[in-house]
């Protein structure tokens, strides 16, 4: 017999899978499948020449899952594709100085080669490349559906602007006031942008989380991102003459538009609102500002433009601000309170204005201290009374003080009572607020699908008719962004000049392209339907295969990608295109591979390229090694030497199987086998890969103990259990065991027999006068006589009993023999 030769085995089986179509299926197969299982993994950005080990880690973990499900009899659809549009790919093209239309297909080709080499069970007949017009035509269709439904709108908005990348950044791309990608300080700009109204779906996106089988960390991140806050909206009337005399609060009436509305989670503290703060961008600033303060306010507003939106929210940021010179009336106390402008109040949360309660809000306390403003206690904690001084904000609970008729109420009662009281005069109402913002989908860049809108002077923003899709992205040699803040497409007159689809008059194409997250927000719907060019997703096939049964991916996409996919699915459901509203029934986040104490990434320069490792050891060993690094949901530490263990294991497995004899299994080995089947069958579906591998390694040691030759019945189930990890090797051994067809179609998952797994012997403790003196291995349920005899024969015990008189023997079956001596 020849030894294990991974290179030949892997070449052979990759060819076979391809020629036999092991992992692909026809449209009819898709439609008639009786046990469909959609196994999805996050598709890669081909924004590098090749995949690194971190990518392979994620795909392998997902592939192991798919292969396992297939072995349990399911019809597993496991597609892969390329998220090839977007800033990652465009920046890579800029760096390489090659046009993305030339560069990205090369990357895709290399990624494909690498993915094939790693032995993933991909359906190569159904891949998706988001830059392919036959795909993005439907991305544009999705945009049109949202537009028609009134869920897409163009509006001016303040955005984070990276002057170096020359693009808008999402808040989470701003780290410490700097661009996550290039570290340049971020500025604010106002530009017209396309938004999807995801905020309309905030509550549903929140509620549905309870129905999903997702990693806990991921649902938690989604909840925080949606950020539901319960509170109230209160009105503070403007005081036009600037008079600062207090009035009887019961005479303060709903002032129509002449009030500043605030969102507060603590309406119970309104008696402590001693001043107000507006965001620098708040439109009421112009009406409030006094002549004396105008210059100072304008200067402050200009400066706020240069502070990014993220650092503005930091609680520990030094407080800055300026008095407007204007006053509003506190609707609870009747007092005139000064109105300030400060950048710690954000325009795009709540109403962009706050009532400041320095006694009970930390940021307001810091601000009041800095500016010398009144701080008043209106909540007394358990050890306080109305006059206990405040040397920091008291944000804990307690009872109301200095709050007129509401004194003595607790927080929850007061929130209701105060809001109801103000509500009688239309000065307040309960309100729920969400941190979630509308999704800005326009990008002033080149490498994306053009937004399918035409601007006409007479007709406004007109959608491109569906039968004119796709709006092709033209090849533009100079695709670099510039400081103008508009897309490079706006430099291509022959492209953007067009006719209005409605009136036929001269019109201009929208020159922004859409966000990559729109491409990836619906790709899972496309995979099973790539055979169809006349529809984005076939209803019958979609009904059969979706929602996705299991989705595996990185936690870096826990919020945006998953939220946007959920939102688009909900919208398409509401518009009658889908029968389900949640796309991913089960989601599991995988861990990361750490190398030398840092996440493996290109920027850290610690990336491991898979190809040479596969050359030397084969894909199966590499896969096994990766899955053995640690719990798949936690990741692990990559060490070059570590691969020797799995490599040796596969050699031993090979030798053991090819030399196995056709005879029944030994009883002891069979017991261990069933214990192993039990462990692996329990842990594999929960992605407990490293522990499953450990169990199989342990079992192989038992099979080979003392150099014995294995029986076929001892090793065949092991080959099946190894198959998800090492598919090529398993196929080859399965064939050598005399079977036909792919192991993934032919082999049943080994059946666990608890009878066979049961231990027949058990370890029993032996004590002398209650002290442990030894242990003996006995048949399960051995009788007292047998147990006592074995215990007496144990060497150490025998020594203790030699010169002693045994008065009594206590026997606890399967546990203990205790000699009481005198
Ligand atoms: C008065 C008050 C008193 C507040 C108190 C808190 C504690 P969450 O929980 O995150 O929703 N706020 C409202 N709009 C804001 C904006 N645009 N920029 C900055 N801060 C804003 O936070 C709601 C609280 O954050 C609101 O409740 C408001 O301060 C502040 F003892 O109002 B509170
Ligand atoms: Zn028109």
The pLDDT value given to residue 215 = 92
Q: Is the ipTM of this complex over 0.90?
A: yes
pLDDT of 312 > 80? The answer is no
Distance CA 697, CA 703 (A): 10
| pLDDT mean across residues, the chain | 93
Mean pLDDT of 194-212: 97
Q: Which of 234, 284, 354, 360 to mutate to test the pocket of ligand 1 (most atoms within 8 A of CB)?
A: 354
Ramachandran quadrant class, 573 (left: phi over 0; alpha: psi -120 to 50; beta: rest): alpha
Q: Express as a percent the part of the chain with pLDDT over 70.
A: 97
Coil/strand/helix, residue 502? coil
User: Which residues surround ligand 1 with Cβ inside 6 Å?
Assistant: 229, 263-266, 269, 345-346, 349-350, 352, 354-355, 357, 360-361, 395, 433
The pLDDT value given to residue 242 = 60
The pLDDT value given to residue 639 = 87
Distance CA 538, CA 336 (A): 63
Mean pLDDT of 124-145: 97
On the question of a cis peptide bond just before residue 547, with omega within 30 degrees of 0, the verdict is yes
> What confidence tens digit (pLDDT) does each residue in 629-687 have?
999 999 998 888 899 999 999 999 999 999 999 999 999 999 999 999 999 999 999 99
Better-scored residue on pLDDT, 67 or 804: 67
pLDDT of 727 > 90? The answer is yes
Answer yes or no: are the C-beta atoms of 369 and 354 closer than 8 Å: no
CA of 230 to the centre of ligand 1 (A): 11
CA of 33 to the centre of ligand 2 (A): 48
Q: Which of the four pLDDT bands, split at 50, 70 and 90, describes residue 760?
A: confident
The pLDDT value given to residue 1 = 52
The answer to the question of whether 602 is labelled as a binding residue is yes
DSSP lists the bridge partners of residue 443 as 513
Answer yes or no: are the C-beta atoms of 464 and 471 closer than 8 Å: yes
Residue owning the nearest CA to atom 33 of ligand 1: 264
User: Measured from the CA of 357, which atom of ligand 1 is nearest?
Assistant: 3
Which one of the ligands is nearest to 352 CA?
1
The pLDDT value given to residue 244 = 67
Distance CA 277, CA 493 (A): 46
Mean pLDDT of 204-209: 98
> What confidence tens digit (pLDDT) does each residue in 56-100 have?
999 999 999 999 999 999 999 999 999 999 988 998 999 999 999
Burial 617-640 (b: 16+ CB within 10 A, else e): bbbbbbbbbbbbbbebbebbebee
The pLDDT value given to residue 614 = 94
Coil/strand/helix, residue 376? coil
The pLDDT value given to residue 248 = 77
Which one of the ligands is nearest to 455 CA?
2
Mean pLDDT of 334-358: 94
pLDDT of 241 > 70? The answer is no
CA angle 212, 216, 217 (to 5 degrees): 125
* Choice among 303-312, 741-750, 756-765 with the minimum mean pLDDT: 303-312
pLDDT of 204 > 60? The answer is yes
Mean pLDDT of 366-372: 96
The pLDDT value given to residue 33 = 96
pLDDT of 441 > 80? The answer is yes
Q: Which of the four pLDDT bands, split at 50, 70 and 90, describes residue 105?
A: very high
Mean pLDDT of 365-376: 96
Domains and CATH numbers, the chain: 36-141+520-596 (3.40.50.620), 228-434 (3.90.740.10), 602-756 (1.10.730.10), 759-821 (3.10.20.590)
> What confidence tens digit (pLDDT) does each residue in 157-201 have?
878 888 888 877 777 678 878 888 788 988 878 888 999 999 999
Mean pLDDT of 742-767: 93
Residues with CB under 5 A from ligand 2 (ion): 456, 458-459, 500, 502-503, 505
Q: Which of the four pLDDT bands, split at 50, 70 and 90, describes residue 255?
A: low
pLDDT of 789 > 90? The answer is yes
> What confidence tens digit (pLDDT) does each residue in 446-468 have?
999 999 999 999 999 999 999 99
> What confidence tens digit (pLDDT) does each residue in 467-512 have?
999 999 999 999 988 877 789 999 999 999 999 999 999 999 999 9
CA of 305 to the centre of ligand 1 (A): 22
The pLDDT value given to residue 257 = 64
Q: Express as a percent the part of the chain with pLDDT over 90.
A: 81
Which one of the ligands is nearest to 227 CA?
1
Mean pLDDT of 596-620: 82
CA of 723 to the centre of ligand 2 (A): 61
Q: What is the pTM of this model?
A: 0.88
Which of 234, 423, 249, 426 lies closest to 336 in space, CA to CA?
A: 249
The percent of the chain in helix, strand and coil, each rounded to the nearest 5, is 40, 20, 40
CA of 754 to the centre of ligand 1 (A): 59
The pLDDT value given to residue 15 = 96
């Amino acid at each position: 017999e020849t030894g294990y030769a991974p290179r030949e085995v892997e070449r052979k089986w990759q060819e076979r899978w391809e020629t036999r179509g092991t992992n692909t299926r026809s449209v009819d197969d898709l439609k008639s499948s009786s046990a469909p299982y959609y196994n999805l993994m996050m598709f890669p950005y081909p924004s590098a020449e090749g995949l690194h080990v971190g990518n392979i880690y994620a795909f392998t973990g997902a592939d192991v899952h798919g292969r396992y499900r297939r072995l349990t009899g399911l019809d597993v659809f496991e597609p892969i594709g390329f998220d090839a549009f977007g800033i990652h790919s465009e920046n890579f093209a800029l760096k390489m100085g090659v046009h993305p239309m030339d560069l990205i297909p090369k990357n895709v080709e290399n990624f494909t080669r690498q993915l094939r080499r790693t032995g993933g069970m991909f359906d190569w007949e159904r891949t998706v490349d988001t830059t392919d017009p036959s795909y993005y035509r439907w991305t544009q269709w999705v945009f049109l559906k949202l537009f028609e439904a009134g869920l897409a709108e163009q509006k001016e908005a303040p955005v984070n602007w990276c002057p170096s990348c020359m693009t808008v950044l999402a808040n989470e791309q701003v780290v410490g006031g700097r661009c996550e990608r290039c570290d340049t300080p971020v500025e604010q700009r106002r530009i017209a942008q396309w938004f999807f109204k995801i905020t309309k779906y905030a509550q549903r996106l929140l509620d549905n989380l309870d129905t999903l089988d997702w990693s806990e960390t991921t649902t938690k991140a989604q909840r925080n991102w949606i950020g539901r806050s319960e509170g109230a909206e209160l009105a503070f009337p403007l005081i036009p003459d600037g008079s600062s005399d207090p009035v009887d609060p019961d005479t303060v009436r709903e002032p129509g538009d002449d009030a500043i509305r605030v969102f507060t989670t603590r309406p119970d503290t309104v008696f402590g609102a001693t001043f107000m703060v507006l965001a620098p961008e708040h439109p009421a600033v112009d009406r409030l500002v006094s002549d004396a303060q105008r210059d100072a306010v304008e200067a402050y507003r200009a400066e706020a433009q240069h502070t990014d939106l993220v650092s503005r929210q930091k609680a520990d940021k030094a407080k800055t601000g300026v008095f407007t010179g204007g006053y509003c009336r506190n609707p609870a106390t009747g007092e005139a309170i000064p109105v300030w402008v400060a950048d710690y109040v954000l325009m795009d949360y709540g109403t962009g204005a706050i009532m400041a309660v320095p006694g009970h809000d930390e940021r307001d306390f810091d601000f009041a201290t800095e500016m010398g403003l009144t701080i008043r206690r209106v909540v007394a904690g358990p050890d306080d009374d109305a006059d206990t001084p405040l040397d920091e904000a008291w944000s804990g609970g307690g009872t109301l003080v200095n709050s007129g008729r509401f004194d003595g109420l607790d927080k929850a009662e007061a929130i209701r009572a105060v809001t109801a009281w103000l509500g009688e005069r239309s000065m307040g109402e309960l309100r729920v607020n969400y941190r979630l913002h509308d999704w800005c989908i326009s990008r002033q860049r080149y490498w994306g699908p053009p937004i399918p809108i035409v601007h006409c002077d007479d007709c406004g923003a007109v959608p491109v008719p569906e039968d004119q899709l796709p709006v092709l992205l033209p090849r533009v040699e100079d695709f670099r962004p510039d400081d103008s803040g508009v897309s490079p497409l706006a430099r291509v007159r022959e492209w953007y000049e067009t006719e209005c689809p409605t009136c036929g008059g001269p019109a201009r194409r929208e020159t922004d392209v859409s966000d990559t997250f729109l491409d990836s927000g619906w790709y899972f719907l496309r995979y099973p339907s790539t055979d169809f060019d006349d529809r984005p997703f076939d209803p019958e096939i979609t009904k059969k295969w979706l929602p996705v049964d299991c989705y595996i991916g990185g936690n870096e996409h826990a919020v945006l990608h998953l939220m946007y996919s959920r939102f688009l699915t909900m919208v398409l459901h509401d518009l009658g295109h889908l029968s389900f509203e949640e796309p991913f029934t089960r989601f599991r986040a995988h861990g990361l591979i750490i190398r030398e104490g840092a996440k493996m990434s290109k920027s850290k320069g610690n990336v491991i390229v898979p190809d040479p490792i596969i050359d030397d050891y084969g894909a199966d060993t590499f896969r096994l090694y990766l899955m053995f690094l640690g719990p798949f949901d936690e990741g692990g530490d990559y060490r070059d030497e570590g691969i020797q263990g799995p490599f040796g294991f596969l050699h031993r497995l090979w030798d053991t199987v090819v030399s196995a004899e056709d005879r029944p299994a030994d009883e002891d080995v069979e017991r261990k086998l069933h214990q192993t089947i039990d462990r692996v069958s329990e842990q594999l579906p929960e992605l407990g890969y490293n522990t499953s591998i450990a169990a199989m390694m342990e079992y192989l040691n038992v099979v080979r103990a003392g150099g014995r030759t294995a029986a076929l019945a001892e090793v065949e189930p092991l080959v099946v259990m190894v198959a998800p990890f090492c598919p090529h090797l398993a196929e080859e051994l399965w064939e050598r065991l005399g079977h036909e067809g792919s192991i993934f179609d032919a082999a049943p998952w080994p059946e666990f027999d608890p009878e066979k797994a049961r231990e027949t012997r058990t370890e029993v403790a032996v004590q002398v006068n209650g002290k442990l003196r030894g242990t003996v291995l006995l048949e399960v349920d051995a009788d007292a006589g047998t147990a006592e005899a074995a215990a007496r024969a144990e060497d150490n015990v025998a020594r203790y009993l030699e010169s002693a008189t045994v008065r009594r023997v206590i026997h606890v079956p399967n546990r203990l023999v205790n000699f009481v001596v005198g």
